[in-house]
């Protein structure tokens, strides 16, 4: 294979110019999901304003804001960069485009790191309380994972009870938020390979505490502190690695409390709702709430009450990442992803939508009030005017969860008595999820018990697979909902890329039947199909069905599972991560969390495609840092591209380049009988 099979792909230039990027801006039907399309007609008929209408109303959006050159950091502003030269080329304080773009970008990183990590902190507090007996409805469900995590973070496990160890693990996690010494955060450091840690130390981006890294970003971006764009970005990188710390501990501790996911079958899209049952949607992120609602829904007293109310049962279905959490561990179906939340309410079938934190549109309340649906917030930091608030009490979690279900039963009775129309779009797809890294290793171990990860690296080195891609991220109406997700998946699968993923992209994949074996037959290239078939053959006795096209690893915090995967591959291959044929793609990224994840993925040495553009284009300096220079420093860089075909070609080119380079380095090492170069 030549070094660059297509040199036209080796650039950081998007294929579509900015002015042409938004297509069909006045069309409200910006989705390919048939259930949402059906519900948009219902919404129109009932005069319900949804996010699709609001998106159209916002067009065209401000060019200053969308390219990052609007500053509101002090209230002399807003300042906008209006000219190439002269006074209008700076903010009132003298901040140039690069300072303003860099400051805005790293505040997004800090926002993302805060969201993931605060979620992790909540779980750490509950694990601690459970270990001390103060949160009796939670317990360690996976003592083996507890042992593994404890050993990894350097605790001795001998002679300690499960609760003693759980308390210590929770304490180490909590120290990662606020410790004042200059040692690296433990959950990050214990999960990275030496070469990466060395790189992070060399360039001084190692976080010592999560809260500190976030506070430092807020400090250095205050008016009149840091104006150097490169220095600012490096400060943001520290917050991004703090984000990785928070995500690692959120995943580890969730597995300890609720179990490490195993392959499980379920279904996805609005057809999972049932008009004759009590329908509860769990929406948000934190499994502390959603998993408890799932547990409560199986209690006999609740089942009796549902029956007494005339219900044929309870449907719990998920939206966003809390939906992924309960899908992974309990096979709970997916109602939709982020962009579909209001339209799920428009079915009229939802009795309660219970939410916790993150990605919960305030617009849900407007949709809910047109139906019997009760929107219930549960967390003190996340309330919506006009919705119900049931404070979720960790110390009486089962009681709190039952209260939510009882409200749903009451609402169900009102819905049935009122005879209010219900229209559930009859779309749902079968889906297989539950692929924690442990579950994947288990599949690989059936082929190579000694070195499970070698099954994957060997398939890449033999050319059967082109590499691995982590699919991550959100929905964003700057592109047509779910279209880029599904096209990127199809394109990569055809090129024999092994697909793992998290978040709303995997919910899109689930809705479109891509988490099934049928999709393997339909979309996988011959190498990928042979690999998946081989895995299935070796494991068929213990699997609930044939393996899917893409492997669902969980919620967004579970991108840590993918990081653990590329670290394991790098270790096995004897190289640093930038040599591993691994890429990432957030085809419809949107949130601050997506910005911080994308940033740390790059810091890990992984080229990362993002569909819709974050506000960076206003500074050519910052643009070149994140799209080009980052590659020289870390081995990973952003690829911004709204055209699915070009995105796929660029991702595959990045994989091919790594495979080519690895081959050359191996050949040289063999010829000179030296070690394979560890660094990239």
Closer residue to ligand SF4, CB minimum distance, 88 or 310: 88
| Bridge partners, 376 (sequence order) | 354, 388
Residue in 294, 346, 359, 408 binding ligand BF8, rule: CB under 6 A = 359
Q: Is 74 in the site for ligand SF4 (CB under 6 A)?
A: yes
Q: Is 76 in the site for ligand SF4 (CB under 6 A)?
A: yes
Q: Is residue 677 exposed (0-12), middle (13-18) or buried (19+ Cβ within 10 Å)?
A: middle
Q: Is 321 in the site for ligand BF8 (CB under 6 A)?
A: yes
172 binds, among ligand BF8, ligand SF4, none (CB under 5 to 8 A by kind): none
User: Tell me, what DSSP letter sits at residue 158?
Assistant: T
String of contacts with ligand SF4 for each residue 186-225, x by CB under 6 A: -------------------------------------x--
Measured distance CA(440)–CA(438) in Å, rounded: 5
Q: Is 109 in the site for ligand SF4 (CB under 6 A)?
A: no
Measured distance CA(222)–CA(216) in Å, rounded: 10
Measured distance CA(193)–CA(190) in Å, rounded: 8
Q: Is 679 in the site for ligand SF4 (CB under 6 A)?
A: no
| Bridge partners, 613 (sequence order) | none
* Chain centre to alpha carbon of residue 645: 23
Q: Is 556 in the site for ligand BF8 (CB under 6 A)?
A: yes
Closer residue to ligand SF4, CB minimum distance, 79 or 580: 79
Number of residues counted as binding ligand SF4 (CB under 6 A) = 12
Closer residue to ligand BF8, CB minimum distance, 146 or 334: 334
Closer residue to ligand BF8, CB minimum distance, 140 or 321: 321
Chain residue at closest Cβ approach to ligand BF8? 474
Structure tokens belonging to residue 534: 């081989």
* Positions in 496-525 near ligand BF8 (CB under 6 A): 503-504
Name which of 143, 144, 169, 145 is nearest 156 in CA terms. 169
Residue in 71, 280, 327, 352 binding ligand SF4, rule: CB under 6 A = 71
Angle ∠(48,52,58) on CA atoms, nearest 5:
110
Are the CB atoms for 659 and 619 separated by under 8 Å?
no
Window contacting ligand BF8 (CB under 6 A); options: 521-529, 543-551, 573-581, 590-598: 590-598
Measured distance CA(326)–CA(432) in Å, rounded: 13
User: Phi then psi for 267, rounded to 5 degrees?
Assistant: -140, 160
Window contacting ligand BF8 (CB under 6 A); options: 161-169, 262-270, 530-538, 585-593: 585-593
Structure tokens belonging to residue 662: 């690895």
Residue in 68, 311, 473, 635 binding ligand BF8, rule: CB under 6 A = 473
504 binds, among ligand SF4, ligand BF8, none (CB under 5 to 8 A by kind): ligand BF8
Q: Is 79 in the site for ligand SF4 (CB under 6 A)?
A: yes
User: Tell me, what DSSP letter sits at residue 317?
Assistant: E
Residue in 98, 177, 189, 338 binding ligand BF8, rule: CB under 6 A = 338
Helix (H, G, I), strand (E, B) or coil at 373: coil
Measured distance CA(94)–CA(113) in Å, rounded: 29
SS (H, E, C) 287-321: HHHHHHHHHHCCCHHHHHHHHHCCCCCEEEEEEHH
Mode of pairing for the β-strands spanning 70-71 and 79-80: antiparallel
Measured distance CA(607)–CA(647) in Å, rounded: 11
Window contacting ligand SF4 (CB under 6 A); options: 86-94, 105-113, 156-164, 410-418: 86-94
Binding site for ligand SF4 (CB under 6 A): 71-74, 76-77, 79, 91-93, 95, 223
**Where do contacts with ligand BF8 occur on this chain (CB under 6 A)?**
285, 320-321, 338, 359, 473-475, 503-504, 555-556, 590-591, 593-594
């Amino acid at each position: 294979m030549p070094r660059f099979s297509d040199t036209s792909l080796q650039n950081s230039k998007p294929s579509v110019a900015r002015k042409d990027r938004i297509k069909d801006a006045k069309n409200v039907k910006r989705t390919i999901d048939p259930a949402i399309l059906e519900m948009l007609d219902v919404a129109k008929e009932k005069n319900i304003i949804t996010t699709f209408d609001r998106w159209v109303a916002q067009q065209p959006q401000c060019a200053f804001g969308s390219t990052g050159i609007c500053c509101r950091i002090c209230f002399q502003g807003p300042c906008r960069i209006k000219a190439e030269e002269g006074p209008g080329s700076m903010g009132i304080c003298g901040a140039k485009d690069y300072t303003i773009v860099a400051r805005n970008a790293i505040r997004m990183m800090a926002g993302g790191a805060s969201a993931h990590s605060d979620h992790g902190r909540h779980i750490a507090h509950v694990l601690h309380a459970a270990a001390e007996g103060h949160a009796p409805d939670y317990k360690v469900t996976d003592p083996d994972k507890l042992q593994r995590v404890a050993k990894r973070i350097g605790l001795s496990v001998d002679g300690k009870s499960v609760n003693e160890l759980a308390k210590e693990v929770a304490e180490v996690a909590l120290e990662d938020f606020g410790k004042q010494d200059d040692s690296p955060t433990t959950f990050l450091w214990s999960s990275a390979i030496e070469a990466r840690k060395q790189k992070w130390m060399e360039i001084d981006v190692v976080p010592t505490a999560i809260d500190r890294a976030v506070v430092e970003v807020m400090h250095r971006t205050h008016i009149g502190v840091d104006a150097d764009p490169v220095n600012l970005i490096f400060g943001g990188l520290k917050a991004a690695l703090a984000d990785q710390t928070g995500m690692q501990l959120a995943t580890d501790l969730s597995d300890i409390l609720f179990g490490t996911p195993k392959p499980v079958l379920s279904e996805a899209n609005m057809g999972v709702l049932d008009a004759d049952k009590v329908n509860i949607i769990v929406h948000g992120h934190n499994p502390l709430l959603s998993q408890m609602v799932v547990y409560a829904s199986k209690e006999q007293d609740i089942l009796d009450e549902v029956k007494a109310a005339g219900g044929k049962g309870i449907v719990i279905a998920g939206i966003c990442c809390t939906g992924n959490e309960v899908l992974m561990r309990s096979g709970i179906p997916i109602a939709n992803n982020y962009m579909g939340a209001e339209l799920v309410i428009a079915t009229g079938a939802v009795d309660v939508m219970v939410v916790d934190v993150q990605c919960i549109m305030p617009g849900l309340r407007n949709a809910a009030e047109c139906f019997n649906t009760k929107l219930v917030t549960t967390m003190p930091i996340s309330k919506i005017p006009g919705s119900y608030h049931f404070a979720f009490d960790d110390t009486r979690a089962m009681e709190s969860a039952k209260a939510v279900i009882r409200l749903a039963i009451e609402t169900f009775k009102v819905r049935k008595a009122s005879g209010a129309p219900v229209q559930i779009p009859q779309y749902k797809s079968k889906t297989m999820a539950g692929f924690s890294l442990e579950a994947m290793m288990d599949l690989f171990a059936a082929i190579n018990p000694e070195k499970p990860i070698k099954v994957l690296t060997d398939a890449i080195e033999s050319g059967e697979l082109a590499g691995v891609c982590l699919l991550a991220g959100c929905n964003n109406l700057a592109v047509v909902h779910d279209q880029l997700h599904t096209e990127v998946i199809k394109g990569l699968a055809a090129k024999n890329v092994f697909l793992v993923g998290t978040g709303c992209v995997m919910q899109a994949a689930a809705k479109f039947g891509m988490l099934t074996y049928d999709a393997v037959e339909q979309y996988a290239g011959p190498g990928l199909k042979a690999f998946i078939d081989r895995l299935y053959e070796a494991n068929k006795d213990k699997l609930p069905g044939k393996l899917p096209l893409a492997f669902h690893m969980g919620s967004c915090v579970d991108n840590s599972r993918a990081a653990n995967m590329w670290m394991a591959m790098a270790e096995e291959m004897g190289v640093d991560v930038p040599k591993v044929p691994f890429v990432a793609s957030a085809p419809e990224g949107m949130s601050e969390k997506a910005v911080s994840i994308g940033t740390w993925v790059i810091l890990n040495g992984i080229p990362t495609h993002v569909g819709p553009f974050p506000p960076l284009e206003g500074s050519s300096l910052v643009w070149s840092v994140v799209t080009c220079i980052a590659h020289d420093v870390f081995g990973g860089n952003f690829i911004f591209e709204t055209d699915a075909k070009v995105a796929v070609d660029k991702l595959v080119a990045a994989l091919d380049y790594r495979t080519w380079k690895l081959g050359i380095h191996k050949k040289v090492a063999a010829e000179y009988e030296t070690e394979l170069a560890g660094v990239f």
